[in-house]
Amino acid sequence: MVRSIKDRLRNRFNISVAEVDALENRQVAVLGVSMVSNESFHIRTAFDEIVRALKSHPVAELLDHEVDV
């Protein structure tokens, strides 16, 4: 399931995404997402859309997120 979430995010938002922590726990996935742009507004807008997409996932639950631009 994590791979399909990562693939959907890559395809929809043209971002880099990787599972970066909790690799030993099959119940939790910690994803790192990165994007490059010359406009911080574009990145903030895209990350807001990414968070909304993850919150609306039918099976997975988004527990927390943080953004650093």
Which tens digits make up the pLDDT trace of 3-59? 888 899 999 999 999 988 776 777 788 889 999 999 999 999 999 999 999 888 888
- Model confidence band, residue 68 (pLDDT cutoffs 50, 70, 90): confident
- Structural domain total, the chain: 1
* Residues 6+ away with beta carbon under 8 Å from 2: 19, 29, 31
* 65 belongs to a structural domain: no
Q: What residue has token string 């742009």?
A: 37
pLDDT number for residue 23:
66
At 30 the pLDDT is: 86
Is residue 9 in a domain? yes
What residue numbers bound the domain in which 39 lies? 2-55
pLDDT at 3 (0 to 100): 83
Domain annotation covers residue 62: no
35 in a structural domain: yes
Structural domain contains residue 68: no
Distance CA 43, CA 55 (A): 18
Asked if residue 37 belongs to a domain, the reply is yes
